[in-house]
């Protein structure tokens, strides 16, 4: 199958491209800097120039059966000033709108669009379990996810099966939040972010890549899909388990007020949590290689290589 992956150069995108290639798919990555992406990649993918905010996709992309959209400026890399919030929004909402407009212009439409979103859709939700039928929460991230999903959903008017992939914290050793959390642990300064009781809903990158293959093949699934493992944990438990995997203590709690001073509104994303269930995919028969945290983290840090090979092993 010919598959377009927007944002395929990122942390999740590279793993997704790898599993698509291993499953014999023909992968075209849309990147704002294809020359640089080509120079840094050893994957058998083609790179096509796009800047969805200003101009259209450089090359004819007719003939793709699936679109996967993972593009977006990093959420937690900078303080959420009004300008930064606009960049976070535009790089998702406008980008998705342009991608759907490109689909509208195609003679033959793709069968499926898998569009990234986040469990931030549910707002702060620690004490109540959220599934795909739960309502949108409050706050900037919830609003961002709602607008992002709204744009992706427009592709349903073209007969496309749209999946709104509400991602939890994606665990990999080569990117995402976990790779940033590891540094203080390595210098014996790791510990939970206060209050410690907030729920962390997570998914191993290997399971996420397998889930994408499964979603491409499982025609009955559409709409919102929670991409999280079935066993969420508290932040305290997460950091204790991380410390164990890294053979380091988890003892130095990071106080919320300090995060607030350093990060402003962004700190709320770290000090509150979401207890989210993968209800839809579990019901439809997807099985996780890493349903629980300890083996998930051990696989990433204890020198047992993570393979992104088979689709439901
Ligand atoms: N990682 C997680 O735990 C997690 C959790 C929830 C949701 N998500 C969402 O899932 C998506 C993929 O996550 P990721 O961790 O793989 O992100 P990532 O590593 O930051 O990659 C995102 C990709 O988006 C493109 N991009 C960056 N800034 C952009 C901008 N201003 N406008 C348009 N495109 C831009 C980049 O591709 P080019 O430079 O090649 O154009 C980049 O490779 C993101 O939208 C993220 O918000 C991730």
Beta carbons within 10 angstroms of residue 179's beta carbon: 14
Q: Quote the CA–CA distance of 109 and 95 in Å, as a whole number.
A: 18
Pocket test for ligand 1, best of 70, 144, 172 (most atoms within 8 A of CB): 70
Q: Decide if 26 is inside a domain.
A: yes
Q: Decide if 173 is inside a domain.
A: yes
Structural contact between residues 261 and 201, judged by C-beta atoms closer than 8 angstroms:
no
Q: Is the pLDDT score of 38 beyond 90?
A: yes
Between residues 216 and 188, the one the model is more confident about: 216
pLDDT band at 56 (very low <50, low <70, confident <90, very high): low
**How many whole angstroms from 11 Cα to the centroid of ligand 1?**
7
Q: Is the CB of 31 under 6 A from ligand 1?
A: yes
**How many whole angstroms from 222 Cα to the centroid of ligand 1?**
22
Q: Quote the CA–CA distance of 220 and 234 in Å, as a whole number.
A: 33
Beta carbons within 10 angstroms of residue 264's beta carbon: 13
- pLDDT tens string 91-121: 999 999 999 999 998 999 999 999 999 999 9
Structural contact between residues 19 and 212, judged by C-beta atoms closer than 8 angstroms:
yes
CA 282 vs CA 14, 139, 185, 234, 305: distances in Å: 25, 28, 33, 22, 26
Q: Which domain range does residue 259 map to?
A: 2-301
Structural contact between residues 174 and 272, judged by C-beta atoms closer than 8 angstroms:
no
Omega before 195 cis (within 30°)? Answer: yes
> What is the distance in angstroms between the CA of the first residue and the CA of the last residue of the chain?
21
Q: Is the CB of 205 under 6 A from ligand 1?
A: no
82 CB-near residues (< 8 Å, 6+ apart) = none
Q: Quote the CA–CA distance of 206 and 33 in Å, as a whole number.
A: 26
Q: Is the pLDDT score of 269 beyond 80?
A: yes
Q: Decide if 152 is inside a domain.
A: yes
Q: Is the pLDDT score of 229 beyond 50?
A: yes
pLDDT of residue 261: 81
**How many whole angstroms from 249 Cα to the centroid of ligand 1?**
31
- pLDDT tens string 275-299: 999 999 999 999 999 999 999 999 9
Lowest mean pLDDT among 52-56, 74-78, 173-177, 241-245: 52-56
For 301, the 3-state DSSP assignment is helix
pLDDT of residue 57: 66
Q: Decide if 77 is inside a domain.
A: yes
Q: Decide if 307 is inside a domain.
A: no
170 CB-near residues (< 8 Å, 6+ apart) = 11, 12, 176, 177, 202, 203, 205, 208
pLDDT band at 53 (very low <50, low <70, confident <90, very high): confident
**How many whole angstroms from 102 Cα to the centroid of ligand 1?**
20
- pLDDT tens string 66-95: 999 999 999 998 899 999 999 999 999 999
298 CB-near residues (< 8 Å, 6+ apart) = 245, 304
Q: Decide if 46 is inside a domain.
A: yes
Quote the tokens at residue 72: 């977006």
Q: Quote the CA–CA distance of 70 and 31 in Å, as a whole number.
A: 11
> Tell me, what CATH number does 27's domain have?
3.40.50.720
Q: Decide if 74 is inside a domain.
A: yes
CA 287 vs CA 15, 22, 43: distances in Å: 19, 20, 27
Q: Is the CB of 226 under 6 A from ligand 1?
A: no
pLDDT of residue 190: 86
pLDDT of residue 307: 46
Q: Quote the CA–CA distance of 269 and 272 in Å, as a whole number.
A: 6
Task: Provide the domain count of the chain.
Answer: 1
Q: Decide if 171 is inside a domain.
A: yes
């Amino acid at each position: 199958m010919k598959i377009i992956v927007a944002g395929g150069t990122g942390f999740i995108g590279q793993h997704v491209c790898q599993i698509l290639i291993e499953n014999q798919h023909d992968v075209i990555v849309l990147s704002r800097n294809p020359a640089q992406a080509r120079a840094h990649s050893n994957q058998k993918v083609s790179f096509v120039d796009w800047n969805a905010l200003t101009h259209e996709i450089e090359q004819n992309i007719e003939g793709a059966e699936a679109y996967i959209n993972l593009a977006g400026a990093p959420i937690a890399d900078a303080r959420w000033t009004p300008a930064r919030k606009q960049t976070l929004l535009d790089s998702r909402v406008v980008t998705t709108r342009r991608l759907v407009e490109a689909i509208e212009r195609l003679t033959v439409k793709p069968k499926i669009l898998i569009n990234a979103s986040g469990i931030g859709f549910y707002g702060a939700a620690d004490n109540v379990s959220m599934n795909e039928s739960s309502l949108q929460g409050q706050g900037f991230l919830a609003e961002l996810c709602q607008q992002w999903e709204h744009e992706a959903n427009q592709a349903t008017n073209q007969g496309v099966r749209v999946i709104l992939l509400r991602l939890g914290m994606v665990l990999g050793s080569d990117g995402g939040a976990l790779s940033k959390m590891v540094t203080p642990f390595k210098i014996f300064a790791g510990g939970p972010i206060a209050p410690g009781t907030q729920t962390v809903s997570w998914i191993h990158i290997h399971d996420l890549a397998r889930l994408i293959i499964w979603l491409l093949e499982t025609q009955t699934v559409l709409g919102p899909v929670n991409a999280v493992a079935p066993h969420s944990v508290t932040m305290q438990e997460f950091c204790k388990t991380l410390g164990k995997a890294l053979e380091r203590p988890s003892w130095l709690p990071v106080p919320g007020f300090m995060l607030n001073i350093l990060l402003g509104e962004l700190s709320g994303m770290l000090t509150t949590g979401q207890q989210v269930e993968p209800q839809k995919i579990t019901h439809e028969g997807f099985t996780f290689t890493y349903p629980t945290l300890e083996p998930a983290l051990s696989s990433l840090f204890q020198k047992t290589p993570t393979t992104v090979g088979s689709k439901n092993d």
